[in-house]
Structure 1
Amino acid sequence: MTTLKTLVYKVERWNPEPNIIDEAAQAIRSGKLVAFPTETVYGLGANGLDDVAVRSIFAAKGRPADNPLILHFASPDAVDNVAYVNERARLLMDVFWPGPLTLVLPVKPIVPHSVTAGLETVAVRMPSHPVAMALIKAAGVPIAAPSANKSGRPSPTEAASVLSDIGDGVDIILDGGATDVGLESTVIDVTGPSVVLLRAGGMPVERIEEVVGDVVLVPGEAKKKRSPGTRYRHYAPLVPLLLWKDDSIWQSKDVSGKKIGYIGIKEPPVTVPEKIIFKSPEYYAHGLFAAFRTLEKKDIDIIVAEWPERVGIGLALRDRLCRAAGQE
């Protein structure tokens, strides 16, 4: 049995080396897997129009096949090849792309069912990271890409996490340094009369509402099937995660006598052996997944995470914390 040799290339963020990008783009066109940085998290990419290549993403991640993927593009106009784009979607693209906003649109027949999980819609995005943009342009095809980690684990915000999670299942890793946002994109459904939030993420809902008016929030079960990355437990560290929503948690049997790792903006009210303090909600979001991976390697029994305010990036933080803790 032949073991896959993963190639890891360090690339200059603002001026990615053309020879490296060309090699990675050729790998994409050849049906291989390439991990690459976006402004949100690292993605595990394949040719989004190649059913066999797309299925290899699911195999590498251990991802259930009923969990749809996002197609990534280098320009808004390219989306017309795979989806029916309405005026509202075009407006959102004009305002927020490139950036951490994914739009769910009616799909065209060219897209494999493995991308859409058999749905009549497809999720599309244009990332802003220069390495991602260079790769998509050079590949000349939409790149299907979920986060580049084993299913259920914290999303990777640096190349080392990709290598440790799925290094033996990816052909090339483009190491462009740490990502910017640290949480995945916001996903909204723009197929109907109202804009519906399917997944909170790197684009705050308040900014979207400035452009299109009220965004409808739907219950968890109603959105799970329609959005990438919402159907199963995600983001979980290797030790139990508890959420500091009120002070009673510090006296609970789940915490009492345990070796605690803590993450949050406020200082914890008790002494903890390991803690990571962030100076703002944005820094909390940026460092959340890396903090999970750092603390799970320490000599601790549990991680306690501060429950953030439900504004701005805080809505996405709450979503990730709840699912990492196994809560709705």
Structure 2
Amino acid sequence: MKKAVVYKLDRWNPDEKIIDQAAEEIRKGHLVAFPTETVYGLGANALDEGAVKRIFLAKGRPQDNPLIVHVATTETAWEIACCDDRALRLMEAFWPGPLTLVMRAKDVVPKVTRGGLDTVAVRMPSHPVALALIEASGVPIAAPSANTSGRPSPTDADAVYEDLGDKIEVVLDGGPTDVGVESTVIDITEGLAVLLRPGGLPVEALENFGETVLLPEDLSREKGATLKKRSPGTRYRHYAPKCKVLLWKAEEDWPDVDGKRVGYMGIRRPPVDLDGDAILFDSLENYARGLFMGLRYLEKRGVEAIVADYPEKRGVGLAIRDRLYRASLAEFDEKP
């Protein structure tokens, strides 16, 4: 297959002709990678079963892993999901933005898009290029992260091309993403707000809005396991570079690296000299923004292991912990 065509766009004023060309590719059943405020997404017509299957093939993604459907209007959300008053309030408060709502799906959404479930995950991105593409396409767009399944998510177009350049038709390059980690996913199907995946919208924002946010662990084991299946990024290894990831927790000593060449990323300064293979962030928000890019960068530097600062459970730190935990394949007594 020929290489993807890459179009550079001004994020605030994307070229209408390029957007229209990309939208036509979506309508043809082709794959278009595009920036959102969180990470780059790999988009296809969410209502076209054949097109959605191509997403799974291009990424090497398990087909029981549901996709998030991106919309440009709340009216489209109502057309594909069974929305209630709570859903509407959350949409009005947090859309467009990094919040995904899991709701009962309507029959118009193919089962392949939903991972075979009776629910659908829906969000409205805030990135101008993403909104322009969805609007021009005239269809909701299913879009997981635009990377090979299991790899660190892409936060710039180069990472997309590196993983998928020979498997898709178009890459829309809108520059680096703002948030750096995927959206927060909450399930609202049971009259509750259950956090399935922490992400770019801090849980505190939902709580300040008046929601009591539960974890799957707060429910019965069976119910919690069932709900987790409704969100991407909860059951398989994700976000991992080719080298090992070690987590450095606040109360622990520096990990035993057995003489390996080590890279580091985090907020705290490492207690050893790493000869330039260290990335320091000055805030949790910047840590999130640079997390995946940092993992890819240190991997390319040829380090044998990456030690990652395991941040506190507040704000976007919860999402960083989740991504690092899954990248490391570590087993802890506590939850991430």
TM beyond 0.5: yes
Show the 5 A alignment for 1:289-308.
289-308=292-311
226, 233, 236: which one pairs with 1:229?
A: 233
**Which of 169, 172, 175 is 1:171 aligned to?**
169
For 1:257 and 1:21, how far apart are their aligned partners in 2?
50
Distance apart, 1:228 and its partner CA: 1.7
In 1, the alpha carbon distance for the partners of 2:227 and 2:280 equals 32
Contact 2:187 2:227 in 1 (8 A): no
Give the corresponding residue for 2:288: 285
Q: For 1:92 and 1:327, how far apart are their aligned partners in 2?
A: 34
Residue-by-residue CA offset, 1:261-313 (whole Å, 9 max, x unaligned): 00001101122231000010000000000000000011322100001010000
* Alignment check: 8 A CA contact 2:46 2:140 kept: yes
Residue in structure 2 matched with residue 153 of structure 1 by the alignment: 151
- Which residue identity is paired with 2:231? S
Give me the whole-angstrom Cα distance separating, in 1, the residues matched to 2:211 and 2:40.
31
1:146-180 per-residue CA deviation (whole Å, 9 max, x = no partner) reads: 00000000000000000000111110000000000
Q: The residue matched to 2:112 in structure 1 has which SS?
A: helix
Local SS of the residue matching 1:296:
helix
In the alignment, structure 1 residue 317 sits paired with structure 2 residue 320: yes
Residues matched between the structures, number: 324
Task: Give runs of aligned pairs for residues 112-123 of structure 1, distance below 5 A.
Answer: 112-123=110-121
The aligned counterpart of 1:267 is: 269
Paired with 2:85 and 2:59, the residues of 1 have a C-alpha distance of 35
Aligned amino acid, residue 190 of structure 1: I
Per-residue deviation at 1:27? 0.3
1:257 aligns to 2:259 (yes or no): yes
Question: Please, which of 212, 230, 242 is the counterpart of residue 246 of structure 2?
Answer: 242
Paired position in structure 2 for 1:22: 20
TM-score (ref. length: structure 1): 0.96
What's the CA shift for 1:251? 5.6
- Tell me, yes or no, if the aligned pair for 1:31 and 1:53 is still in contact at 8 Å: yes
Report whether the alignment pairs 1:183 with 2:187: no
Aligned partner of residue 254 in structure 2, secondary structure: helix
Q: Distance in 2 between matches of 1:74 and 1:86?
A: 18
Alignment of 1:87-166 (within 5 A): 87-166=85-164
TM-score using structure 2 length: 0.94
SS at match of 2:264: strand
Deviation at 1:221, TM superposition (A): 4.3
Instruction: Report the counterpart of residue 221 of structure 2 in structure 1.
Output: none
Asked if the contact 1:250–1:256 (Cα under 8 Å) also holds between the matched residues in 2, the reply is no
Q: Deviations over 1:188-212 (max 9, x none)?
A: 0011121000000000001011223
Please report how far the alpha carbon of residue 82 of structure 1 lies from its aligned counterpart in structure 2 after TM superposition: 0.5
Distance in 2 separating the partners of 1:184 and 1:60: 19
Q: Which ranges of structure 1 fall in alignment gaps of 5 or more residues?
A: none
Q: 2:35 aligns with which of 6, 24, 37?
A: 37
User: Which among 64, 70, 73 is matched to residue 72 of structure 1?
Assistant: 70
Q: Can you give the 5+ residue segments of structure 2 that lack an aligned partner in the other structure?
A: 218-223, 332-336
Kept in 2, the 8 Å contact 1:68–1:115? The answer is yes
In the alignment, the residues of structure 2 paired with residue 248 and residue 123 of structure 1 have an alpha-carbon distance, to the nearest angstrom, of: 37
Deviations, residues 230-251 of structure 1 (Å, cap 9, x unaligned): 2200000111000001464426
Q: Is the 8 A contact 1:33 1:172 kept in 2?
A: yes
User: 2:54 aligned with 1:51, yes or no?
Assistant: no
